[in-house]
A and B are shown apart, each in its own frame.
Chain A
């Protein structure tokens, strides 16, 4: 589904990604772990189309098309979803406006009819229940005054509604207490499907105890240094990144 080949990217003059190679098959869950500053968030931002980063070499093929040629909204229409590490607050816009606009924008580009208000509310209520979020949440401004946990739940709620083909989850577990971690983890698990791939970016193993990845990769200094199955995460939790970074 996703093929990243020799991807190099920099921010201003600083190279961050220095030749990433990664193949993600349909239905697979890949976890990317690594120390601070290794380039994990840059990778997800480049894949989602954030223009603060300049791709200097390499290519990314997503379902047969060159992903890097697409605008962020075109990537979303093509089924790519990024859960932000720091979800953005938009005071003045109700959460439900964004949710409904997003769902219908993506439906429109998938050739599906727009959801009417009633249909949308039914759907969103279903998803709110899964994410254990109160309905009042819909009428609050987008992420404004949300706790860290609420923001992350809101991201996963959006993912549930948008049903992406490729989900990029950037440190969705950071800032969560044990209960919220379980809800978010279950929210991700519920989305597992043979048609959907997930790239999970995380510092810690704890989310991977709930969402079992098929593959784990270690990113350090802008390169994938090591890949393995889920047992690699356990090893990293015990031994840390030091040995890998030195390699």
Chain B
């Protein structure tokens, strides 16, 4: 016995037996068939301890410096029956779910009060080497409440493996709205797991903008249920995968009732020996008439050994719906490259322009200006030959 199993065995005094029985997901599970879990399995993990910070952060499996702001209250950690049900479903449905549940270090429940408008900036700080942290965040947004949640994963110089797992439940009451920005630029040895389960009541709006640059391995599972009329959800995502990184996003939107709207736009840019998986499923239930959904997935491959596994799925059981979807896989467009080069841009600069353009279509949608600029700066740092655009931005966008 070694690695992950050994770790589970060592801590079996907690709630580990169930997890020990399940262990890590394996490639026989359809939704995990591309995930390279070997590194995860081999590492001998240890519990994490929090880093010192003044920010609202998730570090070492603990939430620290939970902000006290008007309209946002820390609630007791008792879950409602519905929340418990959703969490249990997450544990059962997700190949890693039981383990995440068993190893949970901490749980935070926040309530955004009626008609309040709250901004939360949650920083994910890397754990020390070989450490693993598991947390659960429950967000209850009361009627008419507005929440902007910005999750930021900071890159640090930790070079050995570390693992962070966050399960997040979001419940939007009627007329409420949530803008959720996730910017994952974790260090190159990080294993990042994010499970997000969102429920939107009548006339509630949920927007997710997720940008992934970092980590060795990232697995995001997003499930959004539109359970009230006029509820809407939109997801805009970008994953930039290079080196030997692996990024995986599984996204599911259920139109449980009629007159609901969803939009899903996702872009993967893969270079080197990177591999990216995107699974986007939209379900429109039998009685969900007059619903609309749009799905667009674009994949840009920049090297011969880059891999992408896109799988868009539409399941429609109602007959009065508007649905569109499109999925493309390709390399940089030759005509566009020629156009830029014919204007005097070098091959390298022309390629950087087009890669930036591909990513920027997602990034420019981020309304939160500070975060958008931060993402753009880091994006240019990620791109080979991004310097020219960085200079142009600096000299022009003042």
Residues 342 to 363 of chain B near chain A (Cβ within 8 Å): 342-347, 349-350, 353-354, 356-361
The residue in B344, B353, B388, B392 that gathers the most chain A C-beta atoms within 10 A of its C-beta is: B344
Please indicate the chain A residues that have their CB under 8 angstroms from the CB of B353 in the complex: 90, 93, 97-98, 101
A71 to B345, Cβ gap below 8 A? no
Check: A40 CB closer than 8 A to any chain B CB.
no
Cβ proximity bits B297-309 to A, threshold 8 Å, 1 near / 0 not: 0000000000000
The answer, among A73, A88, A92, A116, for a CB contact under 8 Å with B345, is: A73
Query: Please, which residues of chain A bring their CB within 8 A of the CB of B350?
Result: 73
How would residues 368 to 398 of chain B score, 1 for a CB under 8 Å from any chain A CB and 0 otherwise? Answer: 0000000000000000000011001101101
Q: Which of A51, A96, A102 contacts B338 (CB 8 A)?
A: A51
Q: A84 within 8 Å of B by Cβ?
A: yes
Q: Which residue of A lies closest to B350 (CB)?
A: A73
Main secondary structure of the interface of B (DSSP, over half): helix
22 contacts between A and B (CB under 8 A): A49-B342, A52-B334, A72-B338, A72-B341, A73-B342, A76-B344, A82-B342, A84-B339, A87-B339, A90-B353, A91-B357, A92-B357, A96-B396, A98-B340, A98-B343, A101-B344, A101-B353, A101-B388, A102-B345, A106-B344, A117-B398, A162-B343
Q: How far is the CA of A51 from the CA of B343 in the complex (A)?
A: 15
Query: B80: CB under 8 A from chain A?
Result: no
Q: Could you give, for residues 314-357 of chain B, a 1 whenever the CB lies within 8 Å of some chain A CB and a 0 otherwise?
A: 00000000000000000000111011111111110110011011
Q: Mark A70-94, 1 if CB is under 8 A from B, else 0.
A: 0111011100011010011011111
The answer for the CA separation of A98 and B392 in the assembled complex, in Å, is 9
For residue A171, give the distance in angstroms from its CB to the closest CB of chain B.
Answer: 16
Residues of A with C-beta under 8 A to B358: 92
**Bound: A72/B346 CA distance, A:** 9
Given the interface contacts A100-B396, A105-B344, A162-B343, does A92 sit within 8 Å of B356 by beta carbon? yes
For residue A117, which residues in chain B have a CB less than 8 angstroms away from its CB? 395-396, 398
A91 surroundings in chain B (CB, below 8 A): 357, 361
The distance from the CB of B352 to the nearest CB of chain A, in whole angstroms, is 10
Nearest-Cβ distance from residue A33 to partner chain B, whole angstroms: 23
Chain A residues positioned under 8 Å from B367 (CB to CB): none
| Chain A: minimal CB distance from B196 (Å) | 27
Q: Which residues of B contact A77 (CB under 8 A)?
A: 344
Contacts of A98 in B (CB 8 A): 340, 343, 353
CB proximity to A under 8 Å, residues B274-296: none
Q: Which of A81, A82, A92, A102 contacts B360 (CB 8 A)?
A: A92
Give per-residue flags for A158-200: 1 if the beta carbon is below 8 A from chain B beta carbons, else 0.
1000100000000000000000000000000000000000000
Q: Which residues A26-82 have CB closer than 8 A to chain B?
A: 48-52, 71-73, 75-77, 81-82
Chain B nearest Cβ from A90, distance in angstroms: 5
A75→B340 CA distance, assembly (Å): 12
Q: Which 7 A-B pairs have the closest CB atoms?
A: A92-B357, A92-B360, A105-B344, A76-B344, A102-B343, A88-B339, A117-B395
List 15 other contacts, CB 8 Å, given A94-B396, A141-B357: A49-B342, A51-B338, A52-B334, A73-B342, A76-B342, A84-B342, A88-B336, A91-B357, A92-B358, A98-B353, A101-B349, A101-B353, A102-B344, A105-B344, A109-B344
Which of A51, A52, A82, A105 has a CB less than 8 Å from the CB of B346?
Answer: A105
Which of A51, A94, A162 sits near B344, CB closer than 8 Å? A162
In the assembly, what is the distance between CA of A10 and CA of B206, in Å? 53
> In the assembly, what is the distance between CA of A51 and CA of B347, in Å?
13
The answer to whether A88 and B335 touch (CB under 8 A), given A77-B344, A82-B342, A105-B345, is yes
Minimum C-beta distance from B385 to chain A (A): 12
